[in-house]
Amino acid sequence: MMIKTEKLTKKYGDFTAVNHVDLQVQAGEFLGLLGPNGAGKTTLIRMLVGLAKASAGKIYINGQIMGRNKGDLKGMIGIVPQHINLDKELTVRENLLFCAKLFKLPKEQREKRAEELLEFVGLKNVEKRESQKLSGGMQRKLMIAKALINDPHILYLDEPTVGIDLTARRKIWDILKTMKNKGKTIMLTTHYIEEAEYLCDKVALMDEGKIFYCDTPDNLKIKLGKFTLEYFNDNNETEYRYFKSLEQAKQEAGLLENEYTLRKTSLEDVFYNFTNRKVN
Amino acid sequence: MEIMTILWREFIFFKRRFLRITLSAVVSPLLYLIAFGWGLGSQINYEGHSYMYFIIPGIIALTTMNTSFSATSIRINISKLHEKSFEYYLTSPVNMYMLTLGFVINGALRGLYAASLILIVAYLFGVKLKITLAFIIICILNSLLFAAFGYFASMVIDSHYEMNRFTTFVMLPMTFLCGTFFSLDKTPILVKNLIYLLPLTHASQGLRAVALEGNVQITSFIVLILYTVIFYFCGVAASFREM
């Protein structure tokens, strides 16, 4: 097991941000943590990377317990936080070289690794530009490159595509797919349903500090019902009903007098059904 | 490794902003020299020396204090609160003692750079001080001390506004009370004792004693070293608290 948590809890006074989370992520798995704003996703990630101290519970990385200052375990981890955290005074290349130095890469490897990553994320043509002068999408790519500087086994991404346009988002998805194919264990928080569906092997649904379901996107949908009937009730409110088979759904739809939509169940339906609120 | 990494990064910053850094390091001391040295003090003899000779060691102490403090505190402040890039240090396998030392040494180097600029300016004003090893060591200690203090201050604050508390209630009183511009001989004994608790007093008096009398005040060295060590470890402790 690459990442494992046991009853991981984080409290801020009376408020419980993360509540007894038990999580298991296999090596090479891509796990999506899906939940609305304030669900506790970022706090969970911050504990996993050692930026926040757990109030209770344990974290294991590759079988070893994660302390707050375990240098060797930090060397295995890459993190892309939600906010832009680039050194704005440095150029793109200097940002990478600086990170390589912080991760104590030998001198001969630093330039090579920076070069590889510039090519990989497609920032070679702007390598001499100060990072503060990059577009939002480019800054996000540079953050991913920074997170990969130490060739980590585990990559944590906290809403890596928030606030960027669709084209840049798709490019970042491609980068993440490649990383998955290289065998990296990836944990991604998002509130974009399509992002979780497109990228993740498994999705953990999180709300109010708790993970209440963790399975493959298909299994989550099957558990709820593969088909969704969406219609207006007599009070003009939208109602959803879920069915195992299309025939059942069609049969039920035929009985409705009001307008309806019959469609495949999405992750958003799953989430809505369990939390009774929309993710976005 | 961490020390060299920080110094590498800060040298890039220094090269890019060389002119701005140099000019801003010179402006305040130059104004002090013109106002208090040429203007107010040109006719005054103070403790057997012209006021210009009296004031320059004080201005060097003051400038190394301000420059080292600002260089470190502003850097950490921006990195921690504005850029959020400080978090990256905390997620990388750095040794916090070495990282803190890197920032402190960088701040101290900036303070020493400012001090050397003042000596050049003073020389242009016709003031030639005796620059001995003891003088240089006091400058280094004072720079390290206030760089460490700047690091500690920026680690314990949670907003840009809070930094004002340190400048208003710590740095500003020291600027005017620590014997930089006047001798402490005539201050009431209680006040004098309180002022002697402040590190800048020992830096300005130590520098003055070395530059004007050729005396080395061991107490000043000890006080400066003690404060440096205390602020450094407070800074390290505050860094661990960030994690």
Contact B240 A69 (CB under 8 A): yes
pLDDT, greater one: A70 or B107: B107
Question: Looking at residue A166, what is its pLDDT?
Answer: 84
Confidence of residue B60 (pLDDT cuts 50, 70, 90): very high
CATH number among 3.40.50.300, 3.40.109.10, 3.10.20.30, 3.40.720.10, domain A1-76+152-215 = 3.40.50.300
The pLDDT score that the predictor gives to residue A276 is 67
> What b-and-e string marks burial along A77-97, b requiring 16 or more CB atoms within 10 Å of the CB?
bbbbbbebbbbbbbbbbbbbb
pLDDT at B41: 65
- A173 Cβ neighbours under 8 A, 6+ residues apart: A161, A195, A198, A199
Which candidate from A89, A104, A146 shows the least CB-CB separation from B93?
Answer: A104
Judged by DSSP in three states, A187 sits in strand
Q: Work out the mean pLDDT of chain B and round it to a whole number.
A: 88
- Is A74 near chain B, with CB under 8 Å? yes
Q: CA–CA separation, B189 vs B194, rounded Å?
A: 9
pLDDT at A279: 53
Confidence of residue B160 (pLDDT cuts 50, 70, 90): confident
Contact B83 A98 (CB under 8 A): no
Q: What pLDDT was estimated at residue A117?
A: 92
Rounded to whole angstroms, how far apart are CA atoms A111 and A118?
10
pLDDT-derived band at B200, boundaries 50, 70, 90: very high
CB B56 within 8 A of CB B66: no
Could A72 and B93 be called an inter-chain contact, meaning their C-beta atoms sit closer than 8 Å? yes
Tell which of B10, B78, B84, B91 to mutate to test the A interface (max A CBs under 10 Å): B91
What is the distance between the alpha carbons of residues B92 and B98, in angstroms, rounded to a whole number?
13
DSSP A191: S
Contact in structure between B177 and B198 (CB atoms under 8 Å): yes
Q: Looking at residue B102, what is its pLDDT? A: 96
| Model confidence at B50: pLDDT above 70 | yes
Q: Which amino acid is at B238?
A: A
The candidate with the shortest Cα–Cα distance to B79, out of A84, A92, A138, is A84
How confident is the model at residue A188, as a pLDDT? 93
Give B170's DSSP letter. Answer: I
DSSP tag of B210: I
Q: Where do runs of H (alpha helix) occur along chain A?
A: 41-48, 71-74, 92-102, 107-121, 136-147, 166-181, 193-199, 217-224, 246-254, 267-275
For residue B237, pLDDT beyond 70: yes
Note the pLDDT of residue A192: 83
Helix (H) or strand (E) holding B173: helix B172-177
Phi/psi of residue B113, nearest 5 degrees: -65, -45
Residue whose C-alpha is closest to residue B153's, from B59, B92, B76, B40: B76
Residue of A nearest to B7 (CA): A98
Q: What percent of chain B has pLDDT over 90?
A: 45
Q: Please state, in angstroms and rounded to a whole number, the distance separating the CA atoms of residues A6 and A18.
A: 12
Mean pLDDT across B53-71:
91
* Closest chain B CA to residue A96: B9
Provide the residue type at A143 as one letter. M
Domain boundaries, chain A: 1-76+152-215, 88-151, 220-274
Q: Which member of A84, A87, A102 has the closest CB to residue B94? A: A102
Of residues B161 and A125, which shows the higher confidence score?
A: A125
Segment B169-174 shows an average pLDDT of 88
Residue A75 touches chain B, beta carbons under 8 Å: yes
pLDDT tens digits, residue range B69-89?
999 999 999 988 888 888 888
Q: Identify which of B196, B71, B60 has the alpha carbon closest to the alpha carbon of residue B146.
A: B71
pLDDT tens per residue across span B124-145: 878 888 889 999 999 999 999 9
Residue B234 lies in domain: 2-242
Average pLDDT along chain A, 280 residues, taken 10 residues at a time: 92 93 93 89 91 90 76 85 90 95 92 92 92 91 92 91 84 89 92 86 91 89 90 84 89 83 88 67
Question: Which of B10, B21, B88 is the best substitution to test chain A (most A C-beta atoms within 10 A)?
Answer: B88
User: pTM of the predicted model, to two decimals?
Assistant: 0.86
Please determine, for residue B52, whether its predicted confidence score (pLDDT) is greater than 90. no
User: What pLDDT was estimated at residue B47?
Assistant: 67
**What is the maximal distance between C-alpha atoms in chain B?**
59
Number of domains making up chain B: 1
Q: Which of residues 67-86 of B touch A (CB under 8 A)?
A: 79, 83-85
* B4-38 per-position pLDDT tens digit: 999 999 999 999 999 999 998 888 888 887 887 77
Candidates A49, A84, A87: best to mutate against B (most CBs of B within 10 A) is: A87
